A and B are shown apart, each in its own frame.
Chain A
């Protein structure tokens, strides 16, 4: 049923697209037909795949490092009131700086390779992950704190045994947001300056009036993002089910 829905949705999308092409009679260098884009995708499959691999790697590494950094920060904030008091306002303030505006600077500092794109993705997802996980770590029923205190709990053990498992669903929410943001960061980075990646390929195709190739890259990028979203969504629901006591413990 689910897969049928997806096929149906894609079919309707393609039909609308083709309908628009026929209706507006737009030239193929403005709006290529789905068939032309499919042909371009097949024709340039190797170059698209190579560049998609680069973008996917940037996104995956950005997601990994950004999440690790976010998780570590949230734990540090939850462990230390002082850190929380000092760092939280700074974190919120840094969000006033549009990360996209930093892209040229990051390219200057980290070069035209994958580095600057990964840093870009890390910066974009760092705050949502930190904020969601920190929220989960600190939003805990006071009764649990009381019980733990009456048992003589150690601060670190309380964090490990209760706060972290309790915050896993919130972490899942943060990761889902991150999965949406990370590709944006990578592509913006590629637009500003790169020699590889789907964002670079789109600009290149645009410059050479290969609009069908541009569309093909765009579609592959969208598919990558959707796949990532699904994968992270599965992970998030697994985290939620674990914290809710529905999956058997694996340890």
Chain B
């Protein structure tokens, strides 16, 4: 893994001539930033902008890494859907990045990562034979296989049942430690539990939200965490999209 950079984004984004958002935000190096906001406010757009993906709009501003090196090919990406290829085995899916670049995958490392996400004995299975939680763990292993210093998570746990989601959150925090993480989520509980920094995006801009003083992964039964989560939910219900 290269040295971990932070990321600065500053500017405004227009969709069909209309201002979608005007924001300034910083993703501190090696920390988890959780991005919340109403649907359609542009959370995923921010993520896509930094990833360099097509957004269907126009961005005016700057996106820079704190180490001054271009962000190209330094960001791992995990989406809500696991995007495992049904015709490949779990192990082959983990290695898809290398195959897509036309290079030979490091199978040994893939096996180690599968072990790390608890799928060592499912390496030869097809995704159709896995549960939703296992599929997301495979997707996480695929993200780790890319070994990028920055990882973007676009609601990757939102389709999982509550228990599996909590397990996945813990696993993600453990295996992504030391990387700069941006998690887009709808869930105040998830953000409160995982974030070093919470940012609420609204038409008015990107505003930081105070997180409890204890370090992530926070216990949800902790009064401070509970109160933060409740206030955050109230705030989200109050702000305009």
Interface residues of A, Cβ cutoff 8 Å to B: 141, 143-144, 146-154, 156-158, 161-162, 165-166, 242-246, 249
Contact = CB atoms under 8 A, between A and B. Distances in A.
Given A143-B81, A162-B85, A162-B100, 14 more contacts: A141-B83, A143-B83, A144-B83, A150-B76, A151-B77, A151-B97, A152-B97, A152-B101, A154-B100, A157-B100, A165-B87, A242-B87, A243-B87, A246-B128
A141 B51 CA distance: 18
Contacts of B51: 146, 149-150
B86 A153 contact: no
Contacts of B81: 141, 143
Nearest to A142: B54
Contacts of A150: 51, 53, 75-77
B128 A244 contact: yes
B73 interface: yes
B89 interface: yes
Contact of B101 (A143, A157, A245): A157
A146 B128 contact: no
A74 B79 CA distance: 29
Report which residue of A143, A165, A166, A242 has the largest number of chain B beta carbons within 10 angstroms of its beta carbon: A143
B79 A151 contact: no
Contacts of A154: 100-102
Report which residue of A141, A156, A162 has the largest number of chain B beta carbons within 10 angstroms of its beta carbon: A162
B122 interface: no
B126 A246 contact: yes
Contacts of B146: 151
Contacts of A143: 79, 81, 83
A244 B101 contact: no
B96 interface: yes
A124 to B, nearest CB: 31
B97 A157 contact: no
A153 B101 contact: yes
